[in-house]
Structure 1
């Protein structure tokens, strides 16, 4: 998998996650069970735990796709893709494990997995960034 392919997968994951929780919320809105402003920021969340966790997993993706994209795109634009092509896929794999842990629950073990996968992603991105200099 090339770095650009990994970036495309990361973008796809980031785009699909909100569709999952929208798939839960839109029927509630359309049937009148919840008002349109029910999910306004600052209000208590009453969605099922899985939906809340998927929303948080999505926001984690949003927070991290920017730095990942910048590193990958700089590597491609400067033709320094040897390291990014070898490493970027592992960022995506760690992200998928992090999302799975997010989805399953919030036990200490799962939070530890999430944190570990996040740290792995950060170090992989830093390694790719370092390879550009």
Structure 2
């Protein structure tokens, strides 16, 4: 049985984190429907008619969905081409930055929190650029 590379584990973790955010959101929505506080068809995609936490949860989940094709795509390219050596060194750092970004988003919208959240996102962007360059440079080998 082969072991998963750090890239495969980070990609799985990214997908699992996105799914966990969705489960929390849907569990809260289900609770609101059962309690009769919101009709089953009364939800907006951004949870604008719900609590500030639910609005932040919707955005944190959407951020993951928006980033998955880019960062997940890079990890998938590395895995499919046998070049996970390019993405492995920063795979766990990427996943940690993603979880930190979402967690800060869930916790607060204060100026300090937004700055910290952007820092976590900037880390992901730098990692993505490193991966793109590394994958393109290794294309000839």
TM-score by length of 1: 0.91
Deviation at 1:41, TM superposition (A): 4.7
Aligned residues: 132
In structure 2, the partner of 1:62 is 65
User: Are residues 1:101 and 2:104 paired?
Assistant: yes
In structure 2, the partner of 1:4 is 8
TM-score by length of 2: 0.86
Structure 1 runs of 4+ off > 4 angstroms?
A: none
What runs of 5+ residues in structure 1 fail to find an aligned partner? Answer: none
Cα distance in 2, alignment partners of residues 28 and 6 from structure 1: 33
Root mean square deviation, CA, Å: 1.7
In structure 2, the partner of 1:20 is 24
Deviation at 1:18, TM superposition (A): 1.4
Structure with more contact order per residue of length (Cα contacts < 8 Å, sep ≥ 6): 1
Cα distance in 2, alignment partners of residues 93 and 41 from structure 1: 26
What runs of 5+ residues in structure 2 fail to find an aligned partner? Answer: 137-141
